[in-house]
Amino acid sequence: MVSLSEMRRDARAAFDAAVAAVQPHNLVPNRVQRSGDDVLVAGDALPHARGRHVVMAIGKAAPGLAAAWLDSVPDWTHELYVLAPHDLPVPVEVERAATVLRGAHPYPDADGEASARRLLTVAASLGADDLLVVLLSGGGSALMAAPKNGLTLAEIRATTEALLRVGAPINDVNTVRRQLLAAAGGGLGRAASPAPVWTLILSDVLGDPLPDIASGPTVVSSSTPADALAALEHFAILDDVPKAVAAFMTAARGRPPDDGAWASSGHTRIIGNNRTAVEAAASELRSRAWGVEIITEHVIGEASERGREIAAAARAKESPAPTAVVMGGETTVTVHGRGRGGRNQELALAAAIEIDGAGGIVLLAAGTDGIDGLSDNAGAVVDGTSAARLRHHGFDPRVSLEDNDSGTALESIGDAIRTGPTGTNVCDVTLVLTAPTTA
């Protein structure tokens, strides 16, 4: 028998372990080492470039990736560029060694456009005797916001807003972005050619499809303008995006696909992903005497629907011993209301409604980047008392869910999880703990 407070404590400890496991300082040293004059990346030696050694760290984990790289191979890097979201702290040692660039996420801004132009200019200055290492993490698409010629930042932003408003999955969002952004769809790697490009990736896309991670700045695009137009038509927003965007992709539809010749000297390595975080959470729960099941199928789709389904399964489950189910994924939210929240809080609130009054069930859903939607929370942890506590505080849980106001509601009862930006990003972790409980 365990108490509800102990279950909530263990769920939070498991989430913290998941985030710790995908911190750059825990990942990079295992993949990057010195061996005599060689720098080994996942066991393979980087080329011995006679010219410039340029490193670009891009995304929500960029500061940590840069710091871990400098620790692993000191005195190797000639030029270091770090592109990170506004207000994300940068370690002092990275500030001293790097040119720090900024941009906005999830909606691009002028700083991100200027930052992308800077990186593209640096890449274009490289030659065959130089070497570019890209440390890539989630958020790179929005941060590298330079549009292709013929488009404006305002048009890119409006298109991004339209896609996110209808809950388009990241794969579809990036299918469109690859056609619109200068650095996406191999744009950065193409600019660097003929310099060899090595990319180390902390993946924030389920299944690790390389073209979708930060819209694949160093790999050949797997989609076409026709695919992007099809995505906009699928979500019925072709008429909602700027006419210049639709016209740009329509005009590009007949162009031959990228032959990828520039990518022949490129190499990519995944150094961490959602599975890394899920397994770390499971390990932490096992250490706390929970019987653990890892669900390999990703949690995707509409957040509120998944929350109800997961909670209903937990409620129907007989649990004579403490049992934990650990899942990874990334749901979406179709916005109908005017509230404040995010996909993980929406999933958790829907689950709280489903398990209202049930004993011995705790559900946690949170983003490893510490940011859930446009709220300041990472997610939430709920139990069978959450819905009653919401009503006691004057909230109708169903009304809050319909208004997409999960953040406001869950904050009011202390069920929201706030970590601040974690400096990493590998999608989301969902945990369900069931056990006989004490009062």
| Angle made by CA atoms 109, 114, 120, in degrees to the nearest 5 | 125
Cβ count near 226 (within 10 Å): 14
Question: Per residue in 156-201, pLDDT tens?
Answer: 999 999 998 888 888 899 999 999 999 999 999 999 999 999 999 9
- Confidence band of 87 (pLDDT split at 50, 70, 90): confident
Nearest to 433 by CA among 5, 40, 82: 5
Question: Per residue in 285-299, pLDDT tens?
Answer: 999 999 999 999 999
Q: How far is CA 362 from its chain centroid?
A: 24
The SS3 call for residue 141 is: helix
The SS3 call for residue 80 is: strand
Residue 116, Cβ density class (10 Å: 0-12 exposed, 13-18 middle, ≥19 buried): buried
Whole-number Cα distances in Å, 119 to 37, 55, 82, 87, 116: 28, 10, 10, 20, 5
Whole-number Cα distances in Å, 437 to 9, 289, 292, 384: 14, 15, 18, 12
Question: Per residue in 5-31, pLDDT tens?
Answer: 999 999 999 999 999 999 999 999 999
Mean pLDDT in residue range 358-368: 96
Expressed in angstroms, the distance from the first to the final Cα of the chain is: 10
Looking at the predicted structure, is the pLDDT value of residue 105 above 90? no
Mean pLDDT in residue range 46-52: 96
Looking at the predicted structure, is the pLDDT value of residue 420 above 70? yes
Determine the residue type at 36: G
% of the chain surpassing 90 pLDDT: 87
- Confidence band of 439 (pLDDT split at 50, 70, 90): low
> What b/e string do you get for 314-332 counting C-beta neighbours within 10 Å, with b at 16 or more?
bbeeebeebbbbbbbbbbb
Q: What is the mean pLDDT of the chain?
A: 95
Mean pLDDT in residue range 396-411: 98
Looking at the predicted structure, is the pLDDT value of residue 109 above 60? yes
Phi, psi (5° rounding) for residue 330?
A: -160, 105
| Angle made by CA atoms 412, 414, 416, in degrees to the nearest 5 | 95
Q: How far apart are CA 294 and CA 327, in angstroms?
A: 6
Please tell me the predicted confidence (pLDDT) of residue 108: 92
Domain with CATH 3.40.1480.10 in the chain: 4-16+275-434
Tokens of 154: 């305002």
Question: Per residue in 225-269, pLDDT tens?
Answer: 999 999 999 999 999 999 999 999 898 887 777 778 888 889 999
Domain with CATH 3.40.50.10180 in the chain: 24-272
Cβ count near 277 (within 10 Å): 25
% of the chain surpassing 70 pLDDT: 100
Please tell me the predicted confidence (pLDDT) of residue 438: 65
Q: How far apart are CA 174 and CA 169, in angstroms?
A: 9
- Confidence band of 319 (pLDDT split at 50, 70, 90): confident
| CATH 3.50.50.60 correct for 4-16+275-434 | no
Quickly list DSSP for 58-75: ESTTHHHHHHHHHHHSTT
Mean pLDDT in residue range 332-336: 91
> What b/e string do you get for 20-56 counting C-beta neighbours within 10 Å, with b at 16 or more?
ebbbbbbbbeebbeeeeeebbbeeeebeebeebbbbb
CATH topology of domain 24-272: Rossmann fold (3.40.50)
